[in-house]
Amino acid sequence: MPTSNEFTVQLDEELCKGSDCYICVHACPKGVFVPGEHVTSKGLRLSQVKNPEECVGCRICESFCPDLAITITEVPQIKKAAPSAERKEFTSTASGGWTTTPSSLEPGAHYMMGDEACAEGAIAAGCGFYAGYPITPASEIMVHLTKRLPDTGGVFVQMEDEIASMAAIIGASWAGIKSMTATAGPGYSLMMENIGYACMTETPCVLVDIQRAGPSTGQASRTGSGDVMQAKWGPHGGVEIIALAPWSVQEMYDLTIRAFNLAERFRVPVIVLGDAVTGHLRESFQVEDTVRVFNRIKVPGAPPFGTDDEAGVPPMPSFGEGEDLLITGSTHNRHGVRKTSDPDVHERLVRRLSKKITAHMDEIVDYDLYFEDDAERLVVAYGSTARSALWAVNEARERGERVGMLRLKSIWPFPADIIRDWGDRYQEIIVPETNLGQISRVVRQHTATPVRLVSQTNGEIMDPRHVRDFLLGKSRREDN
Ligand code: SF4
Ligand code: SF4
């Protein structure tokens, strides 16, 4: 049976209709098949497996053959072919990891809109490619990058829509460039399929969602936080997602840098869940002399889609580096070869995609805790709502209420352990949200302590008096 080091190529001559078809001859990217030399008794000149050693197991031929005449089989006991001499030279050392680079902005204080600070954070993190489609209240990110990216050697492309934008940044990432897009509610919905594709193909990239008051077109220039659950459950297949929630212009800068670092570290799309308040707010923020950035790990010759560690993050090659790269959203083995009907490969892959996030919570989860020493009640807040909540907590404390606050700077993966371990210290947990209750439901899942939702969905920043009055018992209306 014709074989490469890793794959056998089997052609069933009873099924092949040869010169009436020759799809495999044209479809195989490696020229494995050629038109046969002799004619059968049925008058057919069959396809012939001529160069089986070239087979890389992409299974294009198997998928395209209309008569199911081709079977590609992986040879499990044979290890991946040693890199060619040329590639050995190239691949002698692994690269990537943490490094420190000079800041791309003048160190010191800057005064900008949150969207602009986000764009600057991207440049500071090494973003070299932005693809996007304008949408309120995220457009200022792309407008800023049209001016700034070319100055830094980067590329800006306005795409025809959000689907194409997400696809473009995935492609750029595989070309070896840190990439980003930004959008708001309706555009975010359009990006979902490709976010799932980025999860499955382990493509690092950053997506900024400047949330606005939905659903649908809603109040395009007003705020809300209705995309929190969509961030987690939008992509089908139940993947783990990393999402960060800035509450200030400073964090629009800092957390965008962090989003790039997490994307590269874990090879995932990372979402910055801003909102119209943090996006359009103008305030000063501080830029340090240097920026800590993580560059993707490269171990040339190593499988790009699997590790021996069940929670591992594989190294990531780029196109043009001499690797045989197969990138598919279908179930694939560690070499990227499609394995769409192998239950073991699928189970192992899906679990690793999840575990590479959940096993590294200590590297991802980020929060601030206020007044923990004496707090009898706890406010859990995130994003711009946390600004209102902290004002309300201070007001309540001045009136003798022992209230503390947990501010989630990362929302997904949800820090369930914190709520589970600390929850019963408190008499109640109060969750103010500019939606109908999304994180409050998650908090409730992890504690027996009563969880109260303070909800506002009018497109305005959370009214701090509303939260204060709830904490003072003046308004005990529960919103769910
Ligand atoms: S695609 Fe299938 S049927 Fe067509 S020539 Fe190739 S092996 Fe034969
Ligand atoms: S699996 Fe891919 S490389 Fe191998 S013979 Fe089929 S098309 Fe060609």
CB 368 within 8 A of CB 409: yes
The finding on whether 166 has its CB within 6 A of some atom of ligand 2 is no
Taking a C-beta distance cutoff of 8 angstroms, is the pair 461, 223 a contact? yes
d(CA 18, CA 246): 61
Q: In what order do the strands lie in the sheet with 403-408?
A: 367-370, 403-408, 377-382, 428-433, 451-455
Q: Is the CB of 28 under 6 A from ligand 2?
A: yes
Q: Which residues of the chain carry a pLDDT beneath 50? A: 77-92
> pLDDT value at position 85?
38
The residues facing 242 across adjacent strands are 270
Calpha distance 129→148 (Å, rounded): 11
**Ligand 2 mean position to 65 CA, how many Å?**
11
Strands (E), 166-320: 179-183, 205-211, 242-244, 269-275, 282-287, 290-298
Q: What gap in Å lies between CA 466 and CA 258, rounded to an integer?
A: 32
Token reading at 227: 């995309």
pLDDT confidence of residue 83: 42
- Report DSSP state, residue 248: S
Residue with CA at minimum distance from ligand 2 atom 2 = 58
Res 364: pLDDT: 97
Atom of ligand 1 minimally distant from the CA of 18:
5
Q: Token match 């790009």: residue? A: 304
Closest C-alpha residue for ligand 2 atom 8: 28
Judge whether 345 and 386 are in contact, CB under 8 Å. no
Distance from residue 61's CA to the centre of ligand 2 (Å): 6
> Who lines ligand 1 at CB under 6 A?
11, 16-18, 21-24, 47, 65, 67, 69-70
Q: For the whole prediction, is pTM greater than 0.85?
A: no
Give me the domains of the chain, ranges plus CATH numbers. Answer: 7-74 (3.30.70.20), 96-296 (3.40.50.970), 367-471 (3.40.50.920)
Q: Whose CA is nearest to atom 1 of ligand 1?
A: 65
- Choose which residue among 10, 22, 51, 59 to substitute to test ligand 2 binding: the one with the highest number of ligand atoms within 8 A of its C-beta: 59
| Tokens 């830029």 belong to residue | 287
* Ligand closest to the CA atom of residue 34: 1
Distance 130 CA to ligand 2 centre (A): 34
What's the full length of the chain, in residues? Answer: 480
Q: Is the CB of 52 under 6 A from ligand 2?
A: no
The string of DSSP codes covering 389-458 is HHHHHHHHHHTT--EEEEEESEEES--HHHHHHHGGGSSEEEEEESSSSSHHHHHHHT-SS-EEEEE--S
Confidence (pLDDT) at 93: 60
Rounded to whole angstroms, the maximal C-alpha distance in the chain is 98
Cite the DSSP H helix spans in 72-125.
85-91, 114-125
Which residue's CA is minimally distant from atom 2 of ligand 1?
65
